[in-house]
Structure 1
Amino acid sequence: MVSPLLEPFREAYRNLELLPLRSDKELQRFAVKYGTEIIEELEQLVEDSPSEDGKIILAGHRGCGKSTLLYEFKRKLDDRYFVVFFSISDMIEMSDVNHVNILFSIAVQMMSEAEAQNLTIKDSIKKSFYQWFAEQIRTETNQADATLETGFNFSSLLAHIKGILKINSTIREEIKQKYERRITDLVAQINIIASAIESQSQKKILVIVDDIDKIDLAQVRDIFQSHIKAIMLPSFRIIMTIPIAALREVALKATLQTETNDQIVQMPVYKLFKQGDINSPNAIPDPQIIATLTEIITKRIDPALIDPDTLEKICLYSGGVLRELIRITNDCCRVRLRSVRRYPDDNTLKIDQAVLEQSITEISLDFAESIGTADEEIIKTVYEKLKPKDLKDQNFLDLLHGLYILE
């Protein structure tokens, strides 16, 4: 016998993937109104900047909703700008992200978007672009010639370039070695591509590079402190994400403020409680925020499948981090799906307190595996005093980066 609850829980489980909303269809199904002020702040910086090559930093915790918000921002500006939006994780292995391959990825993605929008770029210019790309990845340049002769469809060559860039560490290292001391040559080619696109589209370029916030802090320092001038060189607007922990390092923050003309936007997690009430057993969560988090869940799961009190507790356990909200509910669905198969005759099964406690226990054990004694002391201090003993402590910054501590 198959339980009538199997399919509803299965659908909910599939709706609770730990992925950002990056398509119009997904936004239509699951989006809720949030981050309006962040979008307005980004729009103001893009539109009102005195220069057309401003670089904007969006900082926030992993999982706070930056990716979905940036996709919404892209949609809003599509009619006014030639927007190139991509995740660096789709282009480069995350452990190998550096300033050179970020810039090279921007070049590839600009041409990819130009192809997607069917821009008419002169054959001679287009051919030179693709010969240049082919040379960087050691692809025979006659492949670019052959592509030109078969209907001006460069999609296969672009896919080839992206694939090699993603999986071939040797090629990435060669590109880095080639341009690390000749970064202006790389940027010059990027600017030529940008100029051709702007000429044909009659729009200014806006590049949005997502998921840089997911790399290690050491890589963030290397890119945005040691090599930030290289990242600032392209002659068009760029928005990049960084982890919130980067702004707690004095030297790194000062460099970012100076080089971006202080164009830094911070995206906080939802604050469930007022700061002074956080540790009070009688603290009352912000009803508006609870309502927003509840809406995020009930767009993905039938409210009849989850106990209302349990739903509120899921919101509280999330800490206001959207990814954790989805993760906890997803885990609850996994637990309940096993029960539905075990007891197909029981039509009263839903996500209740017992299911939530089991899920939280499993997630807590997962978090605890990486915590050492020094980390425990820092977490305890932050819990009791709402700040660490030393904001520069690397252990504290790592805990902030890893979502063990939220701000």
Structure 2
Amino acid sequence: MTVDIRKFFQATDPGKTLVVENPEDKKYYIDFSSVRGGEIIKKLKQKITFFSPDAPTCVLFTGHIGCGKSTELMRLKTELEHEGFQVVYFESSEDLEMTDVDISDVLLAIAHRVSQSLDKITLEEPSRLKGLLQGAWKVLNSEVTGFKLKPPEMPGVPKLGDIGITSENEKFSLAFGIGEITTKAKSDATLREKLNQYLGPQKTQLLEAINQELLEPAIASLKQQGKKGLVVIVDNLDRLDTRTKSWGRPQQEYLFVDQGEYLKKLNCHLVYTMPLALKFSNDYGNLTQRFDEPRVLPMVSIQLQDGSECEAGIALLRQMVLARVFPEFDEQERLNKITEIFDSPNTLDRLCRVSGGHVRDLLRLLNTWIMEEMELPLSGATLEAVIRARRNEMTMPISDDEWELLRQVRQRKKVSGDDGYQALIRSRLVFEYRDSSESWFDINPILAEAKELQP
């Protein structure tokens, strides 16, 4: 068969999340759990389905951005749905301004997405939530930087009492009402501040209203329909910006530590992605007092802690690459086709090793390589040029102090909790790996050949 290089290029798009319930995507999916330290998604599912199906649970899920969390969460969603749960999955970055997030923003986003998902369920009108939304709408439309409230009769401006009223049936829609407010506030920092000044002191009332007027009646209705419960998966909160709030508190610590009690008190099953840097924060102890130990999705192991190669990890990464071009073939058939795609098996292995087991980085290198070469088989010489370009891009912002920290990581295979290491983790200069007994760290292999790290 002739390989369509354009289709191969499109299949290696590093920005695409695999949705395993989609038959086409399922052909590309590789289960890396055996070389990631355990069945993390299986354990998340068991906590909900076996250990606590009828009582709310809350789990934090973390790992490097791009390591495959979203793909694994989509797999969790599919498996929970097969078990009979209603699952609401959403990417929080679509609803929130990630540079400026407050607890009320997250609560409203969850309420919005849950109410949107209940199109086949009729609930009583949520009077307390409606009142809070009307108050918020009034605040957003009050004087802002000297401009007075727009008259309600102006075209396109709902009357204060009409927030959430859809034109279709003239009835109140919670999803529509929250959508009107969050859309208005997301792109305007002044309005976000006014909204949070209004809702912040009422976050307990907001939480109670969401629980009593939305989540609890929704779950009761779902169970009458034969469902086992409601699970909300909030993805992309790991992309929360690192900047500090106006009063000096880092945003990540503020949301997950200071406001953690509110995140976990929604009366349904919850899974939040969390910034990996919080694992190395001085507030990590406080975080684990509020939540169970966060679940970490580490890199795919390409080598073991003693420096020897992890053949099982390399073998699975080979299959991930080859599945993107031969999705219909079995594992051995794909291996037999390596030299149709690469000039040698060693070239493919070089790609797998230099990725450090970071799935998106591997796909990004491969995607760039295909675009540069434009023909098959892909050559090792072009791969080396792509690696050098990527290394140059990564090394330019690294300070002398960070080079010293990188040398220490390479030697000790561990990191500490100070700010320097947090920066290395955020920048994907250092990766976390796990085997069955412990976690350990190493530098991103692309940096290993940088002149600054040579003896």
User: Per the shorter chain, which TM-score range?
Assistant: 0.7 to 0.9
Relative to its length, the structure with more helix (as a share) is 1
Relative distance call for 1:177 and 1:10 in structure 2 (3 A) is: same
CA RMSD of aligned residues (A): 2.8
8 Å Cα contact 2:20/2:75 also seen in 1:
no
Matched, 1:39 2:64: no
What's the counterpart of residue 238 of structure 1? 270
SS in 2 for 1:43: helix
Cα distance, 1:384 vs structure 2 = 2.1
What's the counterpart of residue 198 of structure 2? 178
What's the counterpart of residue 115 of structure 2? 111
Relative distance call for 1:182 and 1:75 in structure 2 (3 A) is: same
Query: Using the alignment, how far apart are the partners of 1:23 and 1:269 within structure 2?
Result: 20
1:369 partner amino acid:
M
354-363 or 201-210, larger mean C-alpha shift: 201-210
2:112 partner amino acid:
V
Cα distance, 1:15 vs structure 2 = 1.5
Relative distance call for 1:12 and 1:158 in structure 2 (3 A) is: farther
Relative distance call for 1:350 and 1:75 in structure 2 (3 A) is: same
2:270 partner amino acid:
I
Q: 2:71 aligns with which of 48, 68, 71?
A: 68
Cα distance, 1:82 vs structure 2 = 2.1
What's the counterpart of residue 366 of structure 1? 393
**What are the superposed Cα offsets for residues 160-198 of structure 1, whole Å, 9 maximum, x if unpaired?**
556445434343322222222221022122212112311
Matched, 1:92 2:119: no
Relative distance call for 1:64 and 1:373 in structure 2 (3 A) is: same
8 Å Cα contact 2:133/2:163 also seen in 1:
no
Q: 1:199 aligns with which of 215, 220, 224?
A: 220
- Aligned residue runs from structure 1 range 102-181, under 5 A: 102-115=106-119, 118-122=120-124, 124-125=125-126, 133=133, 136-137=136-137, 139-140=158-159, 141-142=161-162, 144-147=164-167, 149=169, 160=180, 163-164=183-184, 166-181=186-201
What's the counterpart of residue 292 of structure 1? 316
**What are the superposed Cα offsets for residues 108-163 of structure 1, whole Å, 9 maximum, x if unpaired?**
11111113xx22334x44x8766754653555443633436269988876765564
- Aligned residue runs from structure 1 range 317-328, under 5 A: 317-328=354-365
What's the counterpart of residue 220 of structure 1? 252
What's the counterpart of residue 81 of structure 1? 85
8 Å Cα contact 1:92/1:165 also seen in 2:
no
Matched, 1:310 2:347: yes
TM-score (norm 2): 0.75
TM-score (norm 1): 0.84
Relative distance call for 1:23 and 1:178 in structure 2 (3 A) is: farther
Q: Greater relative contact order: 1 or 2 (C-alpha under 8 angstroms, separation 6 or more)?
A: 1
1:107 partner amino acid:
A
Q: Give unpaired runs (5+ residues) of structure 2.
A: 141-157, 243-249, 327-337, 433-455
Query: Using the alignment, how far apart are the partners of 2:235 and 2:276 within structure 1?
Result: 14
Matched, 1:16 2:12: yes
8 Å Cα contact 2:112/2:179 also seen in 1:
no
8 Å Cα contact 1:179/1:185 also seen in 2:
no
2:30 partner amino acid:
V
1:313 partner amino acid:
R
What's the counterpart of residue 351 of structure 1? 378
